């Protein structure tokens, strides 16, 4: 009887057999053919500089010895409570380069695991928010929102929850026209039979109230609706340069129905009423009342953007 494949045996297909240099800054890979590459090959990569440092690891820019290829490599310690395995399994399942940062493969040392991914030189949405003196154009915000929702639709349809959606985890592939991809699946989780989403994860200002257990009930279980809430916070930040609930006290008051949604900042930035309504529908206090990725993509606010984009494409063609 043939043994059934496990999630990790699938991930093994993407593994690079690697020789490390003595100082750990050069990597020689023997890369077998895999679902992402039709033929195997040998490559040598060198570290160029540190790109980012986070709670669970570091990201390095690397260059291929023989050519001009660049890649980003995330290094994560194997002591991080199996987060490295969970992120690996997520990367090997979400191989949709249009929506997510492209995954090339992985390798490991005794202490660490390394994920090789595409390098995106324009950085993330937080850089776009911070460097822009004027508000980001609503047409660009619509395009960003639609692209993120397209990715969330794929994730949620496959029972994945990102659980840490924020500007720093959205990469800007092109600033004009604006093209973005979802990245960093370090705390993402796949809902499978016999499991629930319970762990308190996420980033202050973007985390949904049910993740922080702000509801007056006995359940600590939440759903993929937490990603929808985070997207509402992200859109709010794109338009105003701040999050809707920087203080937990105000968030609690909103969840308890004591104050309305804080739309004054959006009004100040001259956001349209359709935009405000869209954000509020993403950020309803009760998770089941929020839009889903599917229903949000059918909203007039986004359909309008898609129709405008389509007309431009037909005109230029």
Residue among 164, 213, 216, 218 flagged as catalytic: 164
Rg of the Cα trace of the chain?
21
The candidate with the shortest Cα–Cα distance to 243, out of 254, 304, 179, is: 254
Report CA 84 to chain centroid distance, whole Å.
16
Beta strand segments in the chain, E: 17-20, 26-31, 41-53, 57-64, 70-77, 103-108, 112-117, 160-161, 170-175, 178-182, 189-190
Q: Is 112 considered catalytic here?
A: no
> Residue 265 burial (CB < 10 Å; 0-12/13-18/19+)?
middle
**Whether 214 contacts 251, CB under 8 Å:** yes
Q: How many other C-beta atoms are found inside a 10 Å radius of the C-beta of residue 300? A: 11
Beta bridge partners of 171: 124, 181
Alpha carbon distance 97, 94 (integer Å): 8
3-state secondary structure 85-112: HHHHHHHHHCCCCCCECCEEEEEECCCE
Positions marked catalytic:
164
């Amino acid at each position: 009887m043939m043994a059934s494949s496990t999630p990790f045996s699938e991930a093994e297909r993407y593994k690079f057999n690697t020789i490390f240099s003595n100082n750990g800054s050069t990597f020689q890979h023997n890369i077998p053919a895999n679902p992402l590459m039709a033929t195997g090959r040998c490559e040598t990569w060198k570290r160029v500089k540190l790109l980012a440092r986070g709670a669970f690891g570091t990201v390095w820019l690397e260059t291929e010895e023989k050519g001009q290829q660049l890649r980003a490599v995330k290094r994560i310690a194997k002591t991080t409570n199996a987060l490295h395995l969970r992120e690996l399994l997520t990367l090997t399942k979400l191989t949709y380069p249009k929506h997510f940062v492209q995954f090339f493969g992985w390798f490991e040392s005794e202490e660490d695991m390394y994920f090789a991914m595409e390098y995106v030189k324009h950085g993330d949405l937080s850089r776009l928010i911070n460097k822009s003196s004027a508000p980001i154009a609503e047409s660009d915000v619509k395009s960003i929102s639609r692209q993120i929702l397209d990715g969330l639709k794929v994730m949620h349809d496959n029972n994945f929850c990102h659980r840490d959606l924020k500007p720093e985890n959205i990469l800007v592939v092109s600033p004009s026209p604006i093209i973005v991809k979802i990245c960093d699946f370090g705390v993402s989780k796949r809902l499978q039979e016999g499991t629930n989403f319970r762990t308190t994860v996420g980033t202050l200002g973007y985390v949904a109230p049910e993740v922080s257990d702000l509801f007056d009930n006995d359940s600590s279980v939440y759903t993929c609706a937490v990603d929808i809430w985070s997207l509402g916070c992200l859109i709010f930040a794109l338009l105003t340069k701040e999050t809707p609930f920087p203080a937990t006290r105000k968030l609690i008051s909103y969840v308890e129905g004591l104050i309305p949604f804080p739309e004054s900042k959006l009004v100040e930035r001259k956001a349209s009423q359709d935009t405000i309504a869209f954000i509020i529908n993403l950020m309803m206090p009760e998770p089941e009342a929020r839009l889903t990725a599917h229903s949000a993509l059918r909203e007039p606010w986004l359909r309008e953007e898609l129709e405008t984009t389509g007309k431009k494409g037909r005109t230029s063609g």
